[in-house]
Chain A
């Protein structure tokens, strides 16, 4: 209470002494976008230190000398503006500044102005992702930022995407970027319990300078998420809601209908032994099994937030409900979130708390496998002449071994309850006696627990011990602490030179464990633990228990356990005349994942940037090019193996034989294992032109991963196939470009187009000393070639004479003999070209926008198609097999069923290119004049479609797939149409 008084006194003193020659200038500042008053805006008399801030209603009153003519109005996130002082209330509207280098970007431990950043960063704003009706926010990043490839392999509600920044830089190490939320590391690919609408912006750090502050973990890029904060002023209440429907896309593979299938069976030996009478009856039925398990999914979302503040105390509180059912029966996600962000402080101290509390309940079906009981496989394999139910109401059983998918969805239950808490507390102390010196501590935790339930009904659980179903319940948790301490010093030496230096210490420590039990003999009135029959020596119902150091109760691995990182680093920044910027990081990182003498490694980076547009010689073109920045950086970042926490050690795990405990070697040791290191050179430019109407950026990078973690192939005579070791070098180089153009900017009509494009080229530079290639199943990595190339024999067609497959041998000569010696490189599973583009048109309150993303140049082995082209006549098959070779002379593209079938040939290699209409939105914001009467700040209604159209030649449900081998049971991406409203009071 003392300080505000002091300020007041001081203010009075200043104002009183100026009063004689001055006057009071009054005004009001509002946001251009929605007309809301902006509190806390800095209003200065241009060229002086005389200024004030707006109050909660956006009003200001400033005592200014008569000589003052112009005010400078600046506010974080908005374009700085000047206003001529006039009599009466000056009305100022601020425009947000997405195309100006003055933007402030949170790049990690601190916020930097875009101007001074020498590294390569991309920012995605809240409005681009907040309303996307997908639970996992990473999926909403698709195509939004250059250099960032986001691939969602699954449409299952809550599924995470696979995110790769600037090409896969590692083969065995992690390729996930590091995710930081409000300074705290959060687990990658586990975002379904984070409320997307709490996110203020997402910044993706791409080059070595930008990621250097996360050096030991930054090799794959860093995704920095900032959550929304309140701002001083009147409380603003926002409510967002949307409702919608989702459908599954059509598959490009057509299956046989009943008549076709029965004819096919008869032509292929009648494996199911049908009689003519039976066939006549069966032909009456024609079940499309897709219709049996697919349905229309429903999405509902409500989000309510209140934010505001007084002086330094600011708050943001939100609560949300997200309820999405998938397109497969019984699948879905229900999520409840709460968030409190609070900051306060005194003159010298800043304190803050950001906290998020979320609970999700997932109901899933099995996917990405070749298990015949997986409903997503079963709908393709079960015969169309069967019905889901028998006449007596029971589930139909196939005469073949193929299960009916329906009871697996309706009778079983596979669910997961996830609790996720992410929170951090920070304190900053600005040392009063030494101006510019401060100390900061930021500590926080990411806590995730999962409770799994897997109920296998006695109706179909014959294969469980005792033959009467099973109930698995499991619990796992992961706790990761991040504690960062820093001391920093900023100094402006004179008008031209400013320097800052910061020392950091950081600890990241994670611990996880899990356990589960499975009980048998379900029955009676209960489908929970009460239904388990106690085990005896004879009834086979003895429960099974398991546990270990992994966080996933389904896989409580003994190879996982506690792990920790310890880092010391320093950051120095210098700039001259706000024109030339130099920045450098030096750091030393230790990881518990490496052996004692390989534990520490040094990383560093340096970058320079030059604001050419501030040079005097630039003045003549300044009216066209308002900003031009050139930049370059060079540096290194580290990466660790992810499959296990104790790879340098030889490990022995428990084994039980005949009721006696024993030990087996569970891991070979590699004491030499050390950090993977990615060294990146980056250069680029950023510009805005024609008064901000055109903005763009261009980057070139060249990254070399050394000490590449590889599966060193072992002779199988050691009882194992491979050992993780550091060997090899991998280069990723490429260009990234983005452009944003306000084509038209009229009084009531705006037309904007935007696009971004990335080209990434990978090349294996070196492998093990004595090897120039590593073959790992269908993939090969060969020196001089691209990463993860598919390696298989080329299939060119069918010999009309005998129906045999024709392959090409190494010398391009046709042969009917399959030999693995004839394998060649047939294309990479990695995507070289990708990007996104779109446009928006605004007319008065109406806005229409569309956003498309694309990938090009990757290859996929479509095992999913192979699964229905393998001529196994007993179960259903692709209709293409109706063309199979049967008589000599027949010219066709499907070999004889008697020909040896090999899936791993180019017959099933497809092009992964696709273009997808990610999002299309039409919205209308009601006029302020109407709203002000009912005391509403803004009201917007919208209709949007997600994944509405996909253009592709890929033959399956969905070409979006992160690896080169789509093995089966694909849950396609949801096509969702929602309608909703956003209201602010």
Chain B
């Protein structure tokens, strides 16, 4: 019995002794990496760059979800006059498309945070990368150039909603421009001019860096990343907004040379990701778990038609069959899940849907690449830029006719000038860039007036007009930002 007691006593003592080991607290995450232990090589910077692109997919940027629609994919068209809210919408975005939202609006705050989230990841990609310059300059150029371009693009996208106007030297309210990784920064809004200065600075450096890289960024079959051509396309767009027409024209020309328009026979295929023709930069959505850019307009899988094309928009197409863009933009579909999508413009089905973002190939799940930049826009930028310059009206007209010729079979060139030409270019923008996230901004930078005529008032709350005096043209700083950032508190957009 005594011996047994000793054995048990020893066992207890052993148990006591072993438990005093402090190593038990030294545990490490298994499914994430500790930030203090990475960014030791360019490989990690490359990972971070890939991560930056992936963040553009998030809800609120190009992605759609219940907590915020794609602010730079579906929302600009929902808020314009080419789409109209239907009774299938469930009211999720009615406050936005009917201009009754407040600074508490989730979609507004989600868009704001999402864009700065992309910017932060871009800044992480840039932070400290220069120390590898001497060892591998071209690789640094390739990574840093893209990160700078992404940073500039996201800031420009913010300026499109929150900027008080788009004048190059405007002292109106712009946006905070973030270039440092500092969780505790409380930046103020810059002026529009200062915002532009920084956007151009980043894009210009990006252009230089991406001209001298170690490996190709895109290929003929993939336009998933921002390469030199894409930076130039971004510059063309920003110059157009800032009304620097000579530069807009020059950059658009460079892009058009590098990436000619698609053949008419290939146009519909672009929207099925079957062709990369004339695509300059398309954000890739690979599968349903990555979300999608446009389901809140037409949820293809459930055949829920939340926003439909307006009659006013459809009537812009004089000949719906000859113009390949009509059936790429608009299709007919009866109600009921599983109903077929009919692309024949002659279809008698009255329920019309946006056909541009249905899915890859034959899929009907809205999982499709978001075309951020493509050559069609470059023609319209150049046409507008030329039309706005003295003595370039002929060239502008030529661009308009070239674009139409590429889209419309048996097209006969027109001859327009003056305001008629400018109006025609803007109308062409609607037809060409329908449901590609341009309409709200195009209205904002031109007439600042919306008139909806199609079946408006069909149900309560649908708004038929927005005047240039409305505060809605300049988005409110989200309430959460106002509450958290004392330096922006006095800079709320006017009227909010």
> Which A residues are within 8 Å of any B CB, using their own CB?
2-3, 268-273, 346, 348-349, 370-372, 397, 399-402, 427, 429, 431-432, 439-441, 443, 460, 462-467, 483, 485, 487, 505-507, 509, 513, 538, 540, 542, 544, 547-549, 556-559, 561-566, 568, 590-592, 599, 645-646, 649-653, 655-669, 713-721, 723, 775, 818, 820, 870-875, 897-898, 900-902, 904
Instruction: State the CA gap A730–B366 with chains docked (Å).
Output: 48
Asked if B33 is an interface residue, CB under 8 A from chain A, the answer is yes
User: A592–B25 contact, CB under 8 A?
Assistant: yes
For B364, the closest partner residue in chain A by CB is A467
> Does B91 count as interface, using CB distance less than 8 angstroms?
yes
Given B35, B225, B303, B483, which contacts A649 in the complex, CB threshold below 8 Å?
Answer: B35
CB distance from A324 to the nearest CB of B (A): 32
Residues of chain B within 8 A (CB-CB) of A872 are 90-91, 94
> Distance (Å) between the CB of A906 and the closest chain B CB?
15
* Contact A270-B459, Cβ < 8 Å, known A2-B1, A872-B90: yes
* Contact across chains for B119 and A719 when beta carbons are under 8 A apart: yes
Known A662-B54, A872-B91; contact A719-B31, beta-carbon cutoff 8 A = no
> Contact partner of A441 among B15, B176, B478, CB < 8 A?
B15
20 A-B pairs besides A656-B286, A658-B286 with CB distance below 8 A are A348-B5, A399-B88, A401-B299, A431-B9, A462-B338, A483-B19, A485-B16, A513-B30, A556-B31, A646-B34, A652-B48, A656-B50, A660-B50, A662-B54, A665-B121, A715-B488, A717-B485, A718-B120, A721-B484, A897-B460
Given the known interface contacts A662-B50, A664-B51, the answer about A718 and B116 at a Cβ–Cβ threshold of 8 Å is yes
A873 in contact with B363 given A401-B306, A467-B301 (CB within 8 Å): no
Interface segment among B180-188, B381-389, B415-423: the answer is B180-188
Q: Is the CB of A566 within 8 A of B484?
A: no
Residues from chain A with a CB closer than 8 A to the CB of B88 are 399-401, 874
CA distance A562 to B25 in the complex (A): 9
Is the CB of B491 closer than 8 A to any CB of chain A? no
C-alpha spacing A269/B85, complex, angstroms: 14
A933 to chain B, nearest CB (A): 47
Q: In the complex the two chains form, is A653's CB within 8 Å of B32's CB?
A: yes
Does residue B365 face the partner (Cβ distance < 8 Å to A)?
yes
A residues in contact with B402, CB < 8 Å: none
Residues on A with C-beta less than 8 A from B66 are 370-371
Whether B16 and A505, one on each chain, are in contact in the complex, defined by CB atoms closer than 8 angstroms, is yes
List residues 341-376 of chain B with CB under 8 A from any CB of chain A. 361-365, 367
**Interface size class for chain B?**
35 or more
Asked whether, in the complex, the Cβ of B8 is within 8 Å of the Cβ of A663, the reply is no
**Given contacts A658-B222, A717-B187, A719-B117, A664 and B55 within 8 Å (CB-CB):** yes
Looking at B5, B66, B178, B186, the one whose CB has the most chain A CB atoms below 10 A away is B5
The CA-CA distance from A872 to B86 in the complex, in Å, is: 11
Q: Which residues of B contact A658 (CB under 8 A)?
A: 53, 222, 224-225, 284, 286
Query: Which 10 residue pairs of A and B lie closest in terms of their CB atoms, listed nearest first?
Result: A662-B50, A650-B35, A719-B117, A664-B51, A269-B459, A713-B484, A271-B459, A719-B120, A463-B301, A558-B31
Chain B interface main SS type? loop
Contacts A549-B29, A874-B459 hold; do A717 and B16 have CB atoms under 8 A apart? no
Given contacts A646-B32, A665-B121, contact A716 B337 (CB under 8 A): no
Pick the residue among A557, A651, A820 that contacts B103 (CB under 8 A): A820
Output the nearest chain B residue to A663 by Cβ-Cβ distance. B47
The distance from the CB of B237 to the nearest CB of chain A, in whole angstroms, is 22
Find out whether the CB atom of A563 lies under 8 angstroms from the CB atom of B27: yes
Interface check B461, CB cutoff 8 A: yes
User: With a CB–CB cut-off of 8 A, which chain B residues contact A272?
Assistant: 87
Known: A432-B5, A463-B299, A663-B51. A652 touches B32 (CB 8 A): yes
Chain B residues within 8 Å of A652, by CB: 32-35, 38, 48, 51
Nearest chain B CB to A804's CB is how many angstroms away? 12
- Contact present for A349 and B365 (CB under 8 Å): no
Q: How far is the CB of A336 from the nearest CB of chain B, in Å?
A: 33
Decide: A562 and B484 in contact? CB cutoff 8 A. no
The closest CB in chain A to the CB of B49 belongs to A662
Q: Which B-chain residue is minimally distant from A268 (CB atoms)?
A: B460
- The answer to whether B29 touches A463 (Cβ under 8 A) is no
Q: Across the interface, which residues of B come within 8 angstroms of A720, CB to CB? A: 113, 117, 120, 183
Q: How far is the CB of B182 from chain A (nearest CB, A)?
A: 7
Known contacts A462-B302, A467-B364, A485-B15: does B51 contact A657 (CB below 8 Å)? Answer: yes
Within B441-480, the residues touching A (CB, 8 Å) are: 457-462, 478-480
A-B contact pairs, 23 of them (CB 8 A): A271-B459, A397-B335, A399-B88, A429-B12, A432-B5, A439-B13, A465-B363, A466-B363, A592-B27, A651-B33, A657-B51, A658-B225, A665-B120, A667-B32, A714-B484, A717-B178, A717-B185, A718-B178, A718-B184, A719-B117, A721-B484, A820-B103, A874-B90
In Å, the complex CA distance between A646 and B363 comes to 41
Complex contact A714–B365 (CB within 8 A): no
- Whether a CB of chain A sits under 8 angstroms from the CB of B44 is yes
Closest to B284 in A: A658
A719 touching B361, Cβ below 8 Å: no
The answer to whether A465 and B365 have CB atoms under 8 Å apart is: yes
- Looking at the complex, which one of A270, A401, A561, A649 makes contact with B302 (CB distance below 8 Å)? A401
A719 & B302 in contact (Cβ 8 Å cutoff):
no
Q: Which residues of A contact B361 (CB under 8 A)?
A: 538
In the complex the two chains form, is A591's CB within 8 Å of B25's CB?
A: yes
Q: Contacts of A590 on B, CB cut-off 8 Å? A: 22, 25
Task: Find the B residue at minimum CB distance from A668.
Answer: B183
Enumerate chain A residues within 8 angstroms of B432, measured Cβ to Cβ: none
Flag if A566 contacts B90 (CB, 8 Å): no
Of all chain A residues, the one with the shortest Cβ separation from B45 is A663
> How long is the Cα–Cα vector from A893 to B182 in the complex, in angstroms?
49
* Also in contact, A651 and B32, with CB within 8 A (given A429-B12, A505-B16, A820-B103): yes
Q: Is B118 an interface residue (CB 8 A)?
A: yes
Least CB distance from A31 to B in Å reads 36
Asked whether A566 lies within 8 Å of B25 as measured between CB atoms, the reply is yes
Does B289 sit at the interface, judged by CB under 8 A? yes
Within the complex, the shortest CB–CB distance from B280 to chain A, in Å, comes to 15
The yes or no answer to B167 lying at the interface (CB within 8 A) is no
User: Do the beta carbons of A562 and B90 come within 8 Å of each other?
Assistant: no
Whole-angstrom distance from the CB of B451 to the nearest CB of chain A?
Answer: 19
- A427 — which chain B residues lie within 8 A by C-beta? 8, 11-12
Q: In the complex, what residues of A have CB within 8 A of residue B479's CB?
A: 775, 820
A349-B103 contact in complex given A439-B16, A509-B24, C-beta closer than 8 Å:
no
How many angstroms from the CA of A901 to the CA of B184 in the assembled complex? 35
Residue numbers in B under 8 Å from A721 (CB-CB): 113, 480, 484
- B26 at the A interface (CB under 8 A): yes
Question: Most chain-B CB neighbours within 10 Å: which of A509, A658, A871, A904?
Answer: A658
> Is B336 at the interface (CB under 8 A from chain A)?
yes
Pick the contact of B458 from A271, A349, A460 — CB < 8 Å?
A271
- Cβ of B477 to closest chain A Cβ, rounded Å: 9
Interface: B287 (CB within 8 A): yes
Residues of A contacting B9 in the complex (Cβ-Cβ under 8 angstroms): 429, 431, 439
Cβ of A662 and Cβ of B51 under 8 Å apart? yes
The residue in chain A whose Cβ has the minimal distance to the Cβ of B222 is A658
A259 to B29, CA, bound (A): 59
Q: In the complex, what residue of chain B is closest to A649 when comparing beta carbons?
A: B34
Q: Is the CB of A898 within 8 A of B460?
A: yes
Interface flags, B157-187, vs A, CB<8A=1, else 0: 0000000000000000000101000111111
In the complex, the answer to whether B28 meets A561 with C-beta atoms within 8 Å is: yes
Give CA–CA (A372, B92) in the complex, Å.
11
Contacts A401-B304, A645-B29 given: A719-B118 contact, CB under 8 Å? Answer: yes
Closest to A373 in B: B302
Closest B residue to A3 by beta carbon equals B1
Please, which residues of chain A bring their CB within 8 A of the CB of B488?
715
Residues of B within 8 A of A547 (CB): 31
* A348 partner residues in chain B, CB cutoff 8 A: 5
Give the most central of A348, A557, A564, A716: most B CB within 10 Å. Answer: A716
**Do A549 and B31 contact each other (CB < 8 Å), given the known contacts A463-B299, A650-B36, A717-B481?**
yes
A268 & B459 in contact (Cβ 8 Å cutoff): yes
